[in-house]
Chain A
Amino acid sequence: MTFWERIYFPAILNGMRITFGHLFRRKTTVQYPEVKREFSDIYRGKHVLKRDDEGRERCTACGLCAVACPAEAITMVAAERKPGEEHLYREEKYATVYEINMLRCIFCGDCEEACPKEAIFLTKEIVKSEYERGKFIYGKAELVEPSDPARRIDISKRQTPEVLAFKKNKKFKHNK
């Protein structure tokens, strides 16, 4: 230690100068409930079960997401599509029950990646807290996106440019 360090004051005054400088600086705080901080486009928040352009559910209940889930939070029950339900479900199989236990879920995004039917995506929305544990079992009512085209959830930013380009030019095999 030099003499100046030994007598405390230069360092203390220096420190006080720094903190004083911050006194009048613009505050970094984002006043959360009123102002929302910008989320990244690929933020992994609440899930959504997408519908296709015609408003049919894309999920085919293959179960890959449930297998891929490290938290074992996804449960589904598959059923065969009956004639006359083509306007509801895109594939021949669909999930009658699709539940995600949001308390178990760790939002790792593995389900989104595992899905071969671009049915499940994570969104920028956050999952709200609740008073009861039971309310965290999100069923299809909470997960499936609204069929109203105006209230669709845009997930195009989560997809790679390659996928987007592909979608523009080609028809999906399963979109027939």
Chain B
Amino acid sequence: MTDILDDKQYTTLNLGPTHPATHGIFQNVLTLDGEQIIDAEQTIGYIHRAFEKIAEHRPFYQITPLTDRLNYCSSPINNIGWHQTVEKLLGVKTTKRIDYMRIILMELARITDHLVCNSVIGVDSGALTGFIYVFQEREKVYEIYEEVSGARLTTNMGRIGGFERDLSLKAVKKIREFLDHLPKVLHEFEKLLMRNRIFMDRTIGVGPISGERALNYGFTGPNLRAAGVDYDVRVMTPYSSYDDFEFIIPVGTQGDTYDRFCVRQQEIWESVKLVRNALENLPEGSFHLDVPQFYLPPKEAVYSKMEALIWHFKIVMGEIEVPVGEVYHSVEGGNGELGFYLVSDGGRTPFRLHFRRPGFIYYQAYPEMIRGGVLSDAILTMSSMNVIAGELDA
């Protein structure tokens, strides 16, 4: 009897890749003592799609649809981040109207991203209904995307140097309706979960990480802020005129699942404010830059002017004159600092394009975060980290 107790029999449990809580693609081999987690080993790469290799074979504008599929919960942020990277390389500066439109769409994207993450925490803790409530709001954002770009999820939104079309009146109306209705649903969602003791017990102190370790692990975004470090690219390195607006960066203290939930929830509220502000202060002007070398000439010109037709051909063929050089540009994506490291040798495609995918970097900390917890904790920690597979595996 004693030897059974002494050298404990650990079970290994294969969590994923088809486990419901791993959302399809992560594999975690857990070493369990009863239900307590002794260790975990991750395998990733189950949807490795070779983004970076494709990017070396595509002209700049064709990379936009690729970025859609990085963090597909918030594709406009990726699209716009990529456009800004190219704009940085080309050395063009966008106007305020473009910036503000971008802020509106990026913050809507952030709302959708956080809504998905938080509602999935609810689902994984057993409360499905809240998820369905907030997904109805997400549908409204989809409608807005559809009105702006023509697609629901993988938006392919905007162009290098602006947008392909202006915000339509219908889109603005829909955004306003959304902004008016969202708070009600958010309040309901928060009432369902936030101060419910079952949920608090499930999440407080679960999967914690200290600010110091989080930095060392390369955490960014809400996960880092939940650990108490107020690093936000939007404030630190303002892009797209974010410095015109005032907003709070919510920070947590423990870095546990509950803090991550609350930080995301708070960021949704801040994003709502940001969208509203940007929409109220939307300046007049053109929705795209007038740079015929890079931005497709207007269609009516293509149909009638030879010069415009030539530009059109050149741009579509990808034969734009790109300076040689390298840039690093980062935006605050749904999960943190989404960076684009672009090396150009002047050719029609990037020489090298590396995406700094926040999910890929911080997901390494997962074993350390769940060690000592139980199986249920591991699942909630995973969903609260909001690791998006497209971003993880690239």
Contact = CB atoms under 8 A, between A and B. Distances in A.
Contact of A19 (B62, B129, B198): B129
Contact of B304 (A43, A122, A173): A173
Interface in B276-303: 296, 298-300, 302-303
A42 B197 contact: no
Given A12-B196, A64-B313, A172-B304, A113 B296 contact: yes
What size tier do the contact residues of chain B reach? 35 or more
Given A67-B317, A110-B156, A8 B198 contact: yes
B151 interface: yes
Interface in A129-176: 159-160, 162-163, 165-167, 170, 172-174
Interface stretch (B11-19, B187-195, B335-343): B187-195
Interface string B170-195: 10000000000000000010011001
A17 B156 CA distance: 41
What size tier do the contact residues of chain A reach? 35 or more
Contacts of B198: 8, 12
- B interface SS class: helix
Contact of A162 (B64, B133, B164, B300): B300
Interface stretch (B23-31, B42-50, B142-150, B373-381): B142-150
B299 A163 contact: yes
Interface in A99-121: 106-110, 113-114, 116, 118
A43 B165 CA distance: 13
17 contacts: A11-B197, A18-B188, A18-B192, A44-B150, A64-B313, A70-B62, A70-B65, A108-B151, A109-B150, A109-B151, A110-B61, A116-B302, A116-B309, A118-B299, A118-B303, A165-B300, A170-B300
Interface of B: 58, 61-62, 64-66, 129, 133, 136, 143, 146-147, 149-151, 154, 156, 164-165, 170, 188, 191-192, 195-198, 200, 296, 298-300, 302-304, 309, 312-313, 316-318
